[in-house]
Amino acid sequence: MRQLIAGNWKMNGLQERAAAIAAPLRRGADGLGCDLLVCPPATLITTVAHILAGSEVAVGGQDCHARGEGAHTGDISAAMLRDAGARYVILGHSERRADHGESDEMVRAKTVAATAAGLTPIVCVGETEAQRLAGEQNAVVGGQLAGSLPEGFVGVVAYEPVWAIGTGRTPTEEDVAAMHGFIRGRLVALLGEGGAGLRILYGGSVKPSNAAALLGLPEVGGALVGGASLQAEDFLGIARAARA
């Protein structure tokens, strides 16, 4: 399967900047050997989807509510994301787990809602630095997978060690390969054959200079990119390092 390079813009960008990133992506995406996705803030999804319409680059959201509609001030449903032009949605990012107290149960309910609305969920898991230092990373990630993925899950899993996000630090290649192998085993145990073909992205300080090494590792099905996705040339540099 082609690798997926997904950009998470987080809470960055106004209309002008969105166009400045998306337009060069549209031009640069042709002929790449991977799939490309950008996840702008909800306010920019329509703009970015319009700029990227008919291109090789898909658009996604960064979160959705578990309910389809109703009295949830400030929230956005999966159907609203899809209506705005999104095809994917990031769920359970560590910043949402930390800033909004999102539990595995909440992530699971959002994943069900996203799937029902026709979005491909990208479910994020990953340990904190203290958990890794205590040797608890497999127990933590295994628990997050068991709690966050609904029965019959079809989508993408992103392994993002919390301590590597936005810090410029990455795990060793051995540690990334070991964790991705562990996640593959858990996916097959939880989902059966369906778990064998799901993409597992690595996320955490991916940049053009380390992308080839990380994307070349076994069971790495792509990358979830934060900071470097805000510069079209850096994001395309990572995409060019992807395995076909």
Mind telling me the catalytic residues?
A: 93, 160
226 binds ligand PEP (CB under 6 A): yes
The separation between the first and the last C-alpha atoms of the chain, rounded to the nearest angstrom, is 8
Q: Is 84 in the site for ligand PEP (CB under 6 A)?
A: no
Nearer to ligand PEP, 84 or 124 (CB): 124
Residue from 33, 68, 152, 166 binding ligand PEP (CB under 6 A): 166
For residue 151, the minimal CB distance to ligand PEP (Å) is: 26
- Is 218 a binding residue for ligand PEP by CB under 6 A? The answer is no
Q: How many residues bind ligand PEP (CB under 6 A)?
A: 13
Query: Residue 61, interface with ligand PEP (CB under 6 A)?
Result: no
Judged by CB under 6 A, which of 123, 224, 238, 241 binds ligand PEP? 224
Min dist CB 205 to ligand PEP, Å, is: 4
Rounded to an integer, what distance in angstroms lies between the CA atom of residue 200 and that of residue 122? 9
Site map (CB under 6 A) of ligand PEP, residues 6-25, x = contact: --x-----------------
Binding site for ligand PEP (CB under 6 A): 8, 160, 165-166, 203-206, 224-228
